[in-house]
Amino acid sequence: MRVGVVYGIGGSPVGQYYEIISIQRAEPPPDGKGSNWYCYVIAFDSSNSITGYRQGSLKAVTSGVVEMITQLNERHWKKRDREKKT
């Protein structure tokens, strides 16, 4: 799932971006308590993956991960724009 990505002509993503690779039901992490855990994997430009855990419904976890990668993509593009200006 690509969120917060800049698209060019023809609908193809432009440049590098963070995206959701997977969100799956999981056992609690080592220090996790309770139930309803999900493991998510996000990656930058289809590499450099980050794995994390969130507790909640699939809808709530997905929403949280989407928000996180949207912010990461916005930060990445702002940083890239600043670097181009210098």
**pTM of this prediction?**
0.73
pLDDT at 78 over 80: no
Residues in the chain, overall count: 86
Which residues are within 8 A (CB) of 34 and not within 5 positions of it... i.e. 6 or more apart? 28, 55
How much is the average pLDDT of 39-53? 89
Confidence of residue 45 (pLDDT cuts 50, 70, 90): confident
Do 17 and 74 form a contact (C-beta atoms < 8 A)?
A: no
Confidence of residue 18 (pLDDT cuts 50, 70, 90): confident
* The predicted structure's pLDDT at residue 14: 55
| Higher per-residue pLDDT: 61 or 46 | 61
